[in-house]
Structure formats: C-alpha cells, structure tokens
Amino acid sequence: MTSSISEYKPVLQIPAFRRLWLAQLLSLTAQNGIHFVQLVLIERLTGQSLQIGLMIVAFSLPPVLFSFVAGTVIDRVPKKYIIIFSNLVRALLAFSYIFTLRWLDD
C-alpha cells in the first residue's frame, strides 16, 4: 500500500480542511505535551514506575471504554459542535492544572 503526496493535494487545497487539520495538530500536540509533563511530574514526586504505569492506563482506558457509545452520539450531533465542545473541555481541564500547583507546593 503506497501513497504519494499527489494523492493528498486536492484535499490540502481546501482552506477549511487545512484550518481543521492545523487546529487538530496543535490540539493533539498540546494534549500530548500535557500527558508528558504529567508523567514527568509523577516520576519526580513518587519515583515509582507503578504510578507512571497507572497514569498511562488512565490516559488509555477512557477511549477504549467509551469510544463505542461516543461514536453513536457523535454521529447524531453536528461535527462542528463536537469539536468545539471537546476542545473547550480539554482547555478547561488544562487550565485546571494551574490550581493543582498550589496543592503540589503543600
């Protein structure tokens, strides 16, 4: 199965798709950066690989458990609203980390 860049040129010429693709790229990069920082923080606070493993399970388990149910809901709701809602929730959760810094200092 080989593919070339020329197969993707038509879709990359659509401005709305490029904006969506860039937004998803930035969003996932930020999310993975947060996951990495959380793992580093857990390692520094506990020094236990078990805690790191549990955190990786905590990252991985929800998509596995909820993807089937979420798929049916997502099919019934306009995609624009799903993307906006999910990015807002992720932004709020990322913002909530600021409040945990005070807890870590105690």
Query: pTM of the prediction?
Result: 0.63
Cα R_g (the chain), whole angstroms: 18
Please check whether residue 41 is in contact with residue 105, taking contact to mean a CB–CB distance below 8 angstroms.
Answer: no
Whether 2 maps to a domain, the answer reads: no
Whether 32 maps to a domain, the answer reads: yes
Domain region containing 78? 11-105
Whether 6 maps to a domain, the answer reads: no
Q: What is the pLDDT of residues 15-44, one digit of tens each?
A: 999 998 898 899 889 889 988 988 998 898
Whether 4 maps to a domain, the answer reads: no
Q: How confident is the model at residue 59 (pLDDT cuts 50, 70, 90)?
A: confident
Whether 84 maps to a domain, the answer reads: yes
Whether 43 maps to a domain, the answer reads: yes
